[in-house]
Amino acid sequence: MLEHPVTGERLVWRKVARDTAGALLQADLFVAPGGFVAAEHVHPLQEERFEVLAGVLRLRLDGKEKTMSRGEVEVVPAGLPHVWWNGGQEELHVLGEFRPALRTEVFFETFFGWAKDGKTNRKGLPNPLRLAVLMDEYEDELRLARPPFAIQKMLFGPLAMLGRLVGYRPWYPRYSADPLMTGLGMGI
């Protein structure tokens, strides 16, 4: 189980890339009342699917907000900006899926691991150098919705180089196996 104490999220993997030959990453996601995703984002090469199992999900997809409750499903096509949060007073339980899986599992293990160890700010984000290393490495899995990607590349590229020079890695050994040893082939 992965926990992000700042955003109030918990992730429990059901199926990981290794289980599905890279076709699917599936998880139960639990979000405390008031819980949220750290930033509006885009998955440029992946479809993300939400199925509400309990509670109320508020979703902003491509600038339009909607409320979802138990039994409702939303599929976010690759490339659409979105952000979501617990819109109710009870714990939210969502079945989340990413197709294809890519390296999203390692991204979350790293991101949530840093948060669990107190290496994020009050919005749930790591310092700029850690963030740059993460965003540079996982640009196929996740990008910020703003600013435009070309500007993100100009900003994150040099910051990521500096972050790597001071020792930041795009995976967190305390919470994730070395991707080179697990066959995820991150090219680190």
pLDDT of residue 180: 54
pLDDT at 62 over 50: yes
CB 148 within 8 A of CB 78: no
Cis, bond preceding 100 (omega within 30 deg of 0): yes
Identify whether residues 57 and 136 lie together within a single domain: no
Residue at a domain's end among 51, 83, 99? 99
Alpha carbon distance 4, 10 (integer Å): 6
Query: Quick one: average pLDDT of 26-43?
Result: 97
Residue 170 falls inside a structural domain: no
Residue 79 clears pLDDT 60, i.e. is over it = yes
Residue numbers of the domain that contains 143: 104-165
For the chain, percent of residues with pLDDT exceeding 90: 91
14 within domain boundaries? yes
Residue 152 to residues 35, 134, 146: CA-CA distances in angstroms? 26, 12, 8
177 belongs to a structural domain: no
Query: Which pLDDT score, from 0 to 100, does residue 16 have?
Result: 95
Q: Is residue 174 part of a domain?
A: no
Query: How does pLDDT run across 136-160, given as a tens digit for each residue?
Result: 999 999 999 999 999 999 999 999 9
- Domain tally, the chain: 2
End-to-end C-alpha distance for the chain, whole angstroms: 25
Note the pLDDT of residue 188. 32
Residue 186 above 70 pLDDT? no
Same domain, yes or no, for 78 and 136? no
**Single residue among 74, 99, 124 that ends a domain in this structure:** 99
What are the CA-CA distances from residue 57 to residues 32, 84, 115 (Å)?
11, 7, 22
Query: What pLDDT digit, counting tens, does each position of 83-107 carry?
Result: 999 999 999 999 999 999 999 999 9
What's the mean pLDDT when you consider all of the chain?
93
